[in-house]
Amino acid sequence: MDHLIKEILVEEDQIRKKVAELGARITEDYRGKDLILVGILKGAVIFMSDLVRNIKIPIGMDFMAVSSYGRSATSTGEVRIIKDLDGSVENKDVIIVEDIIDTGYTLAYLTDNIRKRGARSVKVCTLLDKPERRKVDVPVDYLGFEIPDEFVIGYGLDYAEIGRNLPYVAALKEEVYNK
Ligand code: IMP
Ligand code: MG
C-alpha cells in the first residue's frame, strides 16, 4: 500500500494512547448509566473494538451502516440506512462511534435519527475530525484527532475498500483520488 501513501498523519502509538484516554473519560462519564455504543460500519469497527476494551463499565454494542461515498472522495449530502440497529435505543444513553467527521452530514442525520427513537441522550465520539470541511454543525463530545483537509486511510478508514487494516492513519497521495 506504500505507493498510495503520502505521509502518516497519526502514528499507531498516538492512537493507542488517545483511545485509552477516551475510554477512561467515557468510563467516568457513564458510570451508573445505560450506555450503548453505536458503531458506524465499516469505518468505525477498528476504533470501536479498541475503544470498548478501554471502557471499564458494562455497555451495549450495536451497529448501523449508512450509504458512503463509494469510490468517489466527495460527499453528496445524501444519507441512507443500509443496515439498521438490531435493538432499541429507547431510554438508553447512546454514543455514536464514527471514524471521521468530514462535511458532518452523516452525523447530523444519525444523531437526529437516534434522538427520534427515544434515546435518553445522544453523544458523538469520533476518531478523526476535518473541521475545514464542515458543512453542517455537529457537536463532537469525544474527539481523537483533528486533521487537515486530506483524504486519509488506515485504522478502519478506506479508499475504495483499500487501507482499512493499516495500524496508523495516513494521507492518500493526491494523484490517487484525483484520477
Ligand atoms: P460526512 O458525512 O461528510 O461527515 O462523511 C463522513 C463519512 O465519510 C465517514 O464516515 C467516512 O466513511 C467518509 N470519509 C470522509 N472523509 C474520509 C477520508 O478522509 N477517508 C475515508 N473516508 C472518509
Ligand atoms: Mg464512515
Give residue-wise pLDDT tens across range 20-61: 999 999 999 999 999 999 999 999 999 999 999 999 999 999
Q: Which of 124, 145, 157 to mutate to test the pocket of ligand 1 (most atoms within 8 A of CB)?
A: 157
Give the pTM.
Answer: 0.94
CA 72, CA 176: separation in Å to the nearest integer? 11
| Cα distance between residue 115 and residue 123, in whole Å | 10
pLDDT at 1: 78
State the catalytic residue, choosing from 102, 112, 129, 149.
102
CATH number assigned to the domain comprising residue 124: 3.40.50.2020
Nearest-Å Rg of the Cα atoms of the chain is 16
Q: Tell me the C-alpha to C-alpha distance, in Å, between residue 110 and each of 66, 85, 170, 177.
A: 9, 11, 26, 27
Ligand nearest the Cα atom of residue 39? 2
pLDDT at 70: 47
Length of the chain: 179
Mean pLDDT of 111-117: 96
The span from the CA of 128 to the CA of 143, in Å, is: 7
CB 129 within 8 A of CB 106: no
Q: Is the pLDDT of residue 179 over 70?
A: no
105 pocket-lining for ligand 1 (C-beta < 6 Å) = yes
Strand 93-101 versus strand 60-66 pairing type: unpaired
The finding on whether 47 has its CB within 6 A of some atom of ligand 1 is no
What does the DSSP 8-state code read for residue 67? -
Please state whether 61 falls in left (phi above 0), alpha (psi between -120 and 50) or beta.
Answer: beta
Rounded distance, CA 39 to CA 127, Å?
A: 12
How many domains does one find in the chain?
Answer: 1
Ligand 1 close to Cβ of residue 125 (< 6 A):
no
More confident residue, 1 or 46: 46
Structural domain span for residue 7: 2-177
- Across all residues in the chain, what is the average pLDDT? 93
For cell 468530514, the residue is: 102
Q: Calculate what percentage of the chain has a pLDDT beyond 70.
A: 94
